[in-house]
Amino acid sequence: MHYIVITGGVISGLGKGTITSSLGYLLKSHGYRVTSLKIDPYLNYDAGTMNPYQHGEVFVLDDGSEVDLDLGNYERFLDVDLTGDNNITTGKVYKEVIEKERRGEYLGSTVQIIPHITNEIKRRIRLVASKGDFDVVLIEVGGTVGDIESMPFLEALRQLNHEEGKGTFLFGHVTLIPELGENGEQKTKPTQHSVRDLREIGITPDLLFCRSKKPLSIETKKRVSLFTDVAIDGIVSINDVPNVYLVPDAMEKQGIIPFVREKLSLPQKEYHDAWAEYKENIRQPKEKVKIALVGKYVELQDSYMSHKESFSHVTGVTGIDVEIKWINSDDLIQNQEKLSDVQGVLVPGGFGYRGIEGKIQAARYARENNIPYLGICLGFQVAVMEFARNVLGMDGANSTEFDPRTKYPVIDLLPEQLGIKDMGGTMRLGAKKVLVKENTLARRIYGTDTVYERHRHRFEVNPDFIERFKEGGMLFSGVDEDGIRMEIAELRGKEGFIATQYHSEFKSRPLSPSKVHLHLIRQALEYKQNVVEATA
Ligand code: GLN
């Protein structure tokens, strides 16, 4: 077993997750079996209760775990399905240790960070490593070196390196090389300091990923190498690329794999780049559509990371580029014209009343103007509410999440949610079976009668209203295994409208994009061509 640890220095937000995932993709392309885990040193048990404004999207795994969005990157780059064990947090570690102490399992000893907390961290890392026949385990440590919170994790990794023995561990460190002055002189001092901080805690990096505007000059690499002892071949220049799926190529060109192979004594294996054609489409798309993403966290686009990625997957597979027009739903209430130049509308998931009325307007505008629409989770629920209000004449129809006393509670709490008080990990979560009905748009989109999609919700379509929707022209073409939870909605006779209670964006992968995102983009292109024809 080999481990590659990726830490971060200087500042946060340097793209450690993308770098880790890209390295994973390259190792996989070179024939190695890889898994990946993320350490999040915050005290939260998991990401489920966190505001997207702080950490971006909450990603959901098959097993229902609510995890850091980097797990989404690993799944997409490595094309694997991970579990909650692949995300270690301080909350999970401490909870386990304290519960053990309460059970008396420490036999009277004083429970301490070293060794009890560090042992629990090592146990969790080894658990992930033992779950498959892996050549390499990638470990990404959240935060930046020097944070108090990450200390026990770095100490545990230092110990693990020592215990596993020579040639099993590589430490990679992500830093920033700022450029100053008119000729953009590359400054190495922050990197030197950051590496020094790492060494102080007993970790010597073998690899440096240096984020900079321009590629690192050879002089800069030499300077960094001189001050940090990292070999020149181990210094990788990371520069902006138009699409994250192009990062592996940039790393590959700098010879990172031969370097890693030699350091870890890995045998050479057969190389296969699964994304060759995919990347061509991303570099040179043939068509382009503009899609409105109507949400309330649009200032922080990471809140909708998996939707962005799903569209990118569609581009890779079809050659249709997707420009996202980010629209704050509140702005739509006064000004629906904002939707007049787009060829498709996506209303993603969300919680809480703020922004709801604008989302309802978006669904209405799309329906009335025949603009292709995709609703996901809350975007599914608002489409149902909109249809009830404006087509079925149920004035003030709402979700009881927003108006508990509405006359028409078309969206209501799931029965099993009654009486639930804890917020963490208690929604209807994870992959569930969805039955797709015959002779429907959904069936044509999926081409099969059963799909497994990931969920994250407390509310659902109220079964009492289903017949009325059907009579009015909205059908539920996908249902859960028992036939009582509505999973997919479509409008009779409308190819351009589809909405799902589940989050298809979480299972979208580069070579197999979310089917409903793909459908939206195909419809958007058709719509665009029709508009062009109509005006010609
Ligand atoms: N707030 C809605 C619910 O709980 C939708 C959730 C979501 O969009 N993820 O059902």
Q: What is the pLDDT of residues 284-319, one digit of tens each?
A: 999 999 999 999 988 888 999 999 999 999 999 999
For residue 40, the surrounding DSSP H or E stretch is strand 34-40
- Where would I find the H helices in 79-188? 90-102, 118-130, 151-164
Please check whether residue 158 is in contact with residue 198, taking contact to mean a CB–CB distance below 8 angstroms: no
Please check whether residue 400 is in contact with residue 406, taking contact to mean a CB–CB distance below 8 angstroms: yes
The per-residue pLDDT for 533 is 80
Query: CATH 3.40.50.300 residue ranges in the chain?
Result: 2-135+143-167+178-264
Cα(350) to centroid(ligand 1), Å? 6
The per-residue pLDDT for 183 is 87
The per-residue pLDDT for 429 is 95
Please check whether residue 46 is in contact with residue 92, taking contact to mean a CB–CB distance below 8 angstroms: yes
Report, as residue numbers or ranges, the catalytic residues. Answer: 377, 503, 505
With a 6 Å cutoff on the Cβ, whether 486 touches ligand 1 is no
Residues of the chain with confidence (pLDDT) below 50: none
The per-residue pLDDT for 53 is 83
Q: What is the CATH number of domain 278-415+424-535?
A: 3.40.50.880
CATH topology of domain 2-135+143-167+178-264: Rossmann fold (3.40.50)
With a 6 Å cutoff on the Cβ, whether 142 touches ligand 1 is no
The per-residue pLDDT for 421 is 86
**162-193 pLDDT per residue, tens:** 999 989 999 999 999 999 988 889 999 999 99
The per-residue pLDDT for 478 is 97
The per-residue pLDDT for 242 is 87
pTM of the prediction?
Answer: 0.94
With a 6 Å cutoff on the Cβ, whether 351 touches ligand 1 is yes
Token pair for 347: 């209303």
Token pair for 148: 């108090």
The per-residue pLDDT for 335 is 87
With a 6 Å cutoff on the Cβ, whether 490 touches ligand 1 is no
The per-residue pLDDT for 10 is 83
The per-residue pLDDT for 397 is 97
Most informative mutation of 50, 60, 401 for ligand 1 (most atoms within 8 A of CB)? 401
The per-residue pLDDT for 395 is 96
d(CA 407, CA 385): 12
The per-residue pLDDT for 380 is 98
d(CA 172, CA 16): 10
Query: CATH 3.40.50.880 residue ranges in the chain?
Result: 278-415+424-535
The per-residue pLDDT for 13 is 84
